[in-house]
Amino acid sequence: MEILMPEPQIYVERTLAIIKPDVIDKEEEIENLILRSGFHIIQKRKLQLSPEQCSNFYAEQFGKVFFPNLTAYMSSGPIVAMVLARNCAVSYWKELLGPSNSLRARITHPHSLRALYGTDELRNGLHGSLSISSAEKEIRFMFPEAVLEPLPTGQRARDYLNLYVKPTLLAGLTALCKEKPADPLIWLADWLIEHNPNKPKLQYHISQ
């Protein structure tokens, strides 16, 4: 009996994360938690939004009673905006954040980021995109230079694997055989990260 194997696919999804003004001093600590949770930070910038920019970013919330306080809060100091990438990035980041109300998060999701770093319903410490479409929109807002291309599938995916992934993996495995490290998995992982031909450049700049 012939066993049909599914065609290889490339799973890459991005979402927007924001460290809000009142927890900006916890930036390094929060970023470490993000990385330990399996995300890659592929773009990052530190900036301070004007009230008008905050109004545009949260335009879908316009008219709600908390809207003026929200824009005042988000424009009260610097923020750190990050593009996070991993498989199912949007849903995993939402799960890591927990409920938007930090007071409720402490009861229902005590280990979530908003339970740990948020203060109340409004000042919840961190932002996350609600869907893939909102993530694309928000990433373009915070990173106007970002290029969000459709994910490769079918022959394009196979071409990508043959052109970039397989040669790099083969070179890494060859180097692994020559090096013979004590912990081959960790060594190979570090080697692949270091020699990734498409390793994104971390963008970090401050704009006022």
DSSP class per residue in 55-94:
HHHTGGGTTSTTHHHHHHHHTSS-EEEEEEEETTHHHHHH
The mean pLDDT value of the chain amounts to 84
120 contact partners, CB below 8 Å, separation of at least 6: 101, 102, 103
CB 98 within 8 A of CB 113: yes
Taking only the tens place, the pLDDT of each residue in 2-38 is: 555 554 444 478 999 999 999 999 999 999 999 999 9
Full set of structural domains in the chain with CATH: 14-142 (3.30.70.141), 155-195 (1.20.890)
pTM: 0.67
Q: Determine phi and psi for 45, rounding to 5 degrees.
A: -150, 145
pLDDT for the residue 161: 73
Q: What are the catalytic residues?
A: 127
- Residue 1 pLDDT greater than 80, yes or no: no
- Residue 155 pLDDT greater than 80, yes or no: no
The CB density around residue 41, as the number of other CB atoms within 10 Å, is 17
Confidence class of residue 198 from pLDDT cuts 50, 70 and 90?
low
- Whole-Å CA distances, 159 to 4, 105, 164, 169, 205: 20, 44, 8, 15, 34
Identify the three-state secondary structure at position 153.
coil
- Residue 166 pLDDT greater than 90, yes or no: no
